[in-house]
Amino acid sequence: MEGKKYEPLKKVSIIISKGSLVDVYPGLIMANGARMEGIEANLFFTFFGLEAILEKKMDKLKVPTVGNPAMHIPSILGILPGMSAFATKMMKKEMEKLDIPPVREFIEMIHDAGAGIYACKATVDMFHLSEKDFCKDVDEVLTVGQFYELSAGAQIIFT
């Protein structure tokens, strides 16, 4: 990028609002990359994105096969029994080849690298969850206002 000088990015806050593998991994990869570059990173999980940090669900995320044009299959085929499981198995196999860890391990790595992991209080209340429902790496359940305070000066990325 010739010409303009840009300030290096110092802080990112990433919001994960969907709970499928294809929706969770981009945020995890971005947070991990930020930490590897020395950039402060915070992850805020809301709505169905909470599935990625729920102890009982985080190991069971799937690839959606219905209404996903990137699957390059007719939606009618996506509803067939076993299609989502097959797509999930194939994606996990390819990710393993690239040494991309499973969700639980990836969240632990990102947290251990210093990223903050937060759950949305409104969603936690709406889904009747409590802090004990989450994996050990969740730092806190925050209101949106608290997340904005935490994100002061950050680039906010919504996945």
Each domain of the chain, given as residue ranges in start order, spans 12-62+101-158
Interatomic CA distance for residues 115 and 109, integer angstroms: 9
CATH number of 12-62+101-158: 3.40.1260.10
CA 134 to chain centre: 14
Q: What share of the chain has pLDDT > 70, as a percent? A: 99
Q: pLDDT of 8-34, one tens digit each? A: 899 999 999 999 999 999 999 999 999
Q: What is the mean pLDDT of the chain?
A: 92
User: Where are any strands of DSSP class E within the chain?
Assistant: 11-16, 40-45, 116-120, 140-142, 155-158
Interatomic CA distance for residues 131 and 138, integer angstroms: 8
Terminus-to-terminus CA distance in the chain, angstroms? 26
Would residue 72 be called left, alpha or beta, if left means φ above 0 and alpha means ψ between -120 and 50 degrees?
left
Look at residue 1 in the predicted model and tell me its pLDDT. 53
Look at residue 81 in the predicted model and tell me its pLDDT. 82
Model pTM above 0.85? yes
Range from 49-58, 60-69, 122-131, 144-153 carrying the lowest mean pLDDT? 60-69
